[in-house]
Amino acid sequence: MKPEKALIFEMSRPGRVAYSLPECDVTEIETSSAIPEAMLRRKPAELPEVCEVDVIRHYTELSRRNFGIDNGFYPLGSCTMKYNPKINEDVARFAGFAKIHPYQPEESIQGALELLYTLQNDLAALTGMEQVTLQPAAGAHGEWTGLMLIRAYHESRGETRTKVIVPDTSHGTNPASATVAGFETVTVPSDAEGMVDLEALRAAVGSDTAALMLTNPNTLGLFEKRIVEIAEIVHDAGGLLYYDGANSNAIMGIARPGDMGFDVVHLNLHKTMSTPHGGGGPGAGPVGVKRELVPFLPRPTVIRREDGRYGWDWDRPRSIGRVKAYSGNFGILVRAYAYIRTYGPEGLRRVSELAVLNANYMRSRLSPYFDVPYPGVCKHEFVLSGKRLKEHGVRTLDAAKRLLDFGYHPPTIYFPLNVEECLMIEPTETESKETLDAFIETMIRIVREAETDPQLVLNAPHTTAVKRLDEATAARKPVLNCSCGV
């Protein structure tokens, strides 16, 4: 056993500092005159007073307790935790990208504007859309933006449509975004094959349908084969089709939402195109639309003027307005641009082919050990059911916790909601066969443990810094400051 390390607050000694700065040689502003009285701190903040190395050790220690894609395999379904080339991080930090300001004169940021313009066009080409806005900061934000565009479109035709249809496998953000955008959501069930139930869809669609939101492949990892028919049903009723493209790992360079009949698409650049995703960092959820919706796109858009120079276009009278400060999360857009340029069209297609191959390899090797609710070929992810483990008193959650002991991040569990004891696995294209095999062997081992020594699994994790957390209380009564009474 390592001796317990002192906590940073216990190490605090009055007057100790973690910085070395020269004497201040500018006149300090009298804080009381610069800051309103009500906002002034009454008593000094209780911060630990420690030296520089101890601060560094404290934060390094905390970072080691975290699990990231650079620590190990992270097969989180619906979330695409893949290796993102480190060189894209370097590119995003180039001074010409990182040190500019969006309010600089256009002439001085031509390179950045060209990047945005090219990225817009690349994403439009990849999704089969007419034009793309890069403003939205995340997938959910893209959904909301897309729904506001759909509302503006219907209103421009003098129609008030109040309902958004989602399948029961939809990501939770879909109904949430629809609600925030002022629509009522209607859920349609999936059929026995995990596809949208067409009869139920026909019954749900009507003159009040604003849109159907769909993910294809859906969150079961299955491709909606009857997508063209689905599009017809919705379009015939005057509704639009919204494509949740958060996870585009399966279709890049192979299939385009625009060709399937979708009118609006969002992508999660932070899942599919570089940028480590997770942990609440910045993201980007660009939205692409078909021609009829272009006038409503957020402004300003980036344009190429007749003289070949790039600029902001504010002159868009029918725009829904701005949805994000400046031009979106620019650093994330730079990473996505670098990702697309590095792979090129052929490379992106290869990414998708390998993502699908890896998922099918794992699915077929793991299938004998679990219940498989939807057998057959999957796309970039697949679902298993851990309900057989229940015979031994073990639940999917316990198996997921046991994976932590072997250095794996667990897959997504209990989603989609229509699969009992669901495990949703997405290996991604960036893992070697050896890694996939090692994970498969570990999953099989845990199934055997559940059968022979269930207590071992029930008490997991055994090796992590913290054991089982009370997640419900943490979510309902979050303690967001440290307990030192700051």
Question: Helix count (H) and strand count (E) of the chain?
Answer: 16, 12
Question: Of 288-317, which residues contact ligand PLP (CB under 6 A)?
Answer: none
Cβ neighbour number for residue 396 with a 10 Å cutoff: 22
140 is a contact residue toward ligand PLP (CB under 6 A): yes
Quickly list DSSP for 336-383. Answer: HHHHHHHHHHHHHHHHHHHHHHHHHHHHHHHGGGSB-SS-S--SS-EE
Kindly tell me which of 138 and 436 has the beta carbon lying closer to ligand PLP. 138
- The piece of 138-146, 195-203, 336-344, 402-410 that touches ligand PLP (CB under 6 A) is 138-146
State how far the Cα of 209 lies from the Cα of 238, in Å rounded to an integer.
Answer: 7
Residue 401 CB, nearest distance to ligand PLP (Å)? 23
Which residue, 284, 275, 272, is CA-closest to 426?
A: 272
Kindly tell me which of 243 and 310 has the beta carbon lying closer to ligand PLP. 243
Contacting residue, 75, 217, 283, 311, with ligand PLP by CB under 6 A: 283
Contacting residue, 120, 209, 247, 428, with ligand PLP by CB under 6 A: 247
* Residue with token string 């256009």: 106
- The piece of 35-43, 90-98, 132-140, 350-358 that touches ligand PLP (CB under 6 A) is 132-140
335 is a contact residue toward ligand PLP (CB under 6 A): no
State how far the Cα of 289 lies from the Cα of 302, in Å rounded to an integer.
Answer: 15
Site pattern 200..239 for ligand PLP (x: CB under 6 A):
---------------x---x--------------------
- The piece of 82-90, 118-126, 244-252, 404-412 that touches ligand PLP (CB under 6 A) is 244-252
**Alpha helix segments (H runs only) across 41-172:** 52-65, 86-92, 95-98, 110-127, 139-156
**β-bridge mates for residue 463, sequence order:** none
Contact 128, 256 (CB under 8 A): yes
78 is a contact residue toward ligand PLP (CB under 6 A): yes
The backbone torsions φ and ψ at residue 196, rounded to the nearest 5 degrees and listed phi first, read -60, 130
Kindly tell me which of 79 and 260 has the beta carbon lying closer to ligand PLP. 79
- The piece of 125-133, 134-142, 220-228, 384-392 that touches ligand PLP (CB under 6 A) is 134-142
- The torsion of the CA quartet 146, 417, 381, 77, rounded to 10 degrees, works out to 80
Contacting residue, 181, 222, 227, 246, with ligand PLP by CB under 6 A: 246
What radius of gyration, in Å, describes the C-alpha atoms of the chain? 25
Residue 175 CB, nearest distance to ligand PLP (Å)? 11
Kindly tell me which of 48 and 136 has the beta carbon lying closer to ligand PLP. 136
Size of the site for ligand PLP (CB under 6 A): 15
Site pattern 433..452 for ligand PLP (x: CB under 6 A):
--------------------
Contacting residue, 50, 91, 138, 293, with ligand PLP by CB under 6 A: 138
Kindly tell me which of 78 and 120 has the beta carbon lying closer to ligand PLP. 78
Residue 187 CB, nearest distance to ligand PLP (Å)? 15
Give 448: exposed, middle or buried? Use CB within 10 Å, 0-12, 13-18, 19+.
exposed
**β-bridge mates for residue 425, sequence order:** 76, 382
Contacting residue, 75, 128, 139, 311, with ligand PLP by CB under 6 A: 139
Cβ neighbour number for residue 162 with a 10 Å cutoff: 13
Kindly tell me which of 126 and 460 has the beta carbon lying closer to ligand PLP. 126
Q: How is residue 232 written in tokens? A: 């017809």
Residue 259 CB, nearest distance to ligand PLP (Å)? 20
- The piece of 18-26, 106-114, 137-145, 335-343 that touches ligand PLP (CB under 6 A) is 137-145
- Per DSSP, 465 falls in state S
* Residue with token string 């993201």: 283
Please tell me the chain's helix, strand, coil percentages from 3-state DSSP, rounded to the nearest 5: 40, 10, 50
H/E element holding 259?
A: helix 257-260
Residue 337 CB, nearest distance to ligand PLP (Å)? 19
Which residue, 456, 480, 119, 483, is CA-closest to 301?
A: 119
Kindly tell me which of 79 and 293 has the beta carbon lying closer to ligand PLP. 79
Q: How is residue 247 written in tokens? A: 């996870």
Report the SS3 class of residue 292. Answer: helix
- Per DSSP, 226 falls in state T
CA atoms within 13 A on the CB side of 131: 16
Residue 195 CB, nearest distance to ligand PLP (Å)? 16
Kindly tell me which of 209 and 249 has the beta carbon lying closer to ligand PLP. 249
Q: Which residue is nearest to ligand PLP (CB)?
A: 139
- The piece of 240-248, 308-316, 413-421, 448-456 that touches ligand PLP (CB under 6 A) is 240-248
173 is a contact residue toward ligand PLP (CB under 6 A): yes
171 is a contact residue toward ligand PLP (CB under 6 A): yes
The binding site for ligand PLP (CB under 6 A) comprises: 78-79, 138-140, 171, 173, 215, 219, 244, 246-247, 268, 283, 285
